[in-house]
Copies of this chain bind each other. A is one copy, B any other.
């Protein structure tokens, strides 16, 4: 792309104007062939953050990013493949359990996942703690496994949406992440390129999410659905709470353990509400009736757990090793005073969970209380596991306890289709 043309595009965005679809195509292509450099892209991204982007621009950028790399397609023309996405949470075990549950209930689920980012966990990091589990499937292996056993969870490959990888890294360094259009394009482009036909977006909102304001989360959810529809994909978005950890465990292997217990029917009730919603929406997009009941049955009759074992084995994992995973000794962290839990510093817990699991695959945290719970001074609010657990002793400060009672935040704010 010519430098003068790029300058004019930046100027138009800077001055509050709208870029055309062909501008976005040229900008992304130019960024990939290095005729648009990081400085120009960063200035444009900052102008997008501060001046906004129209829906048409977000769609055009998504399209341009999809075209920057390989697109997966599933061979059977009448097969509906579904996929889910989370905008990033703490103790977010939904992918780990909703994928095998939906597959057990009849859907074909093809999921490419990311790694931990900031304080939020990454499904790929978690799966890697299962002995032998291979997250690095080739596209052919990924497609074949979905055809054969109806589910796979693998790491993003470099070949898919390379523009997103470069632009996201740039935005992270230049404080230009929070632009609705840029966020939506980054999310949807990866889903489109991954080849599924129906998506469930779990849009987190609250203090520990990337979109803390529920109104903005609603807008993002709407854009994710509308952009997906422009690509002829079906989509549902669930706006869910991230003011406290979703499940109980925070880490990598320790979340695999929680997912395993969940699929054995011993899951946290709060997490279960969201998991059933997500898995049920996946089934619905796959064209399967009576979705809720099927998901609950897959959970209760153990077929979801068997599907998880099947997926582990299919990806080279050791099922016995998975069943033997355990968290080891715990450090009890107790409430400093009596009262009610008003808030939890989830960002701090997320970072601590990452640190505890960095050198010890089953290191991490187990949360014992939720917002609204009454606690007595000296009662455990948290358990720290793993080699470095002694360093977690001061995490009692992450629980804000007051004398007055408080209502817990809702888990699901809304579900949009």
Contacts and interface: CB of A to CB of B under 8 A. Distances in A.
A315 to B, nearest CB: 35
Given A7-B175, A38-B39, A174-B40, A14 B50 contact: yes
Contacts of A46: 10, 14, 42-43, 46-47, 50
A43 B40 contact: no
A173 B7 contact: yes
B10 A175 contact: yes
A10 B45 CA distance: 13
Contacts of A45: 43
Contacts of A173: 3, 7, 37, 39-40
A5 to B, nearest CB: 12
A14 B51 contact: no
User: How many chain copies does the complex carry?
Assistant: 2
Given A37-B38, A38-B37, A175 B43 contact: yes
A236 interface: no
A170 interface: yes
A41 interface: yes
Contacts of A41: 39
A284 interface: no
A300 interface: no
A323 interface: no
Interface in A163-183: 170, 173-176
A14 B50 CA distance: 7
A354 to B, nearest CB: 16
A8 B11 CA distance: 25
A2 to B, nearest CB: 12
Interface residues of A, number: 24
Nearest to A47: B46
A248 to B, nearest CB: 30
A358 interface: no
A212 to B, nearest CB: 13
Contacts of A70: none
A116 interface: no
Interface string A27-68: 000000000011111110111011100000000000000000
A174 B50 contact: no
B7 A43 contact: no
A192 B313 CA distance: 71
A174 B7 contact: yes
A8 B170 CA distance: 15
A39 B37 CA distance: 8
Contacts of A170: 39
Contacts of A11: 175
B43 A174 contact: yes
A11 to B, nearest CB: 4
A64 to B, nearest CB: 19
Contacts of A39: 38-39, 41-42, 170, 173-174
A38 B173 CA distance: 11
A45 B176 CA distance: 13
Contact of A49 (B7, B14, B49): B14
A14 B175 contact: yes
Nearest to A13: B175
17 contacts: A3-B173, A7-B173, A10-B46, A10-B174, A37-B38, A38-B39, A39-B41, A39-B42, A39-B173, A39-B174, A40-B42, A40-B173, A40-B174, A42-B42, A42-B174, A43-B45, A43-B174
Interface of A: 3, 7-8, 10-11, 14, 37-43, 45-47, 49-51, 170, 173-176
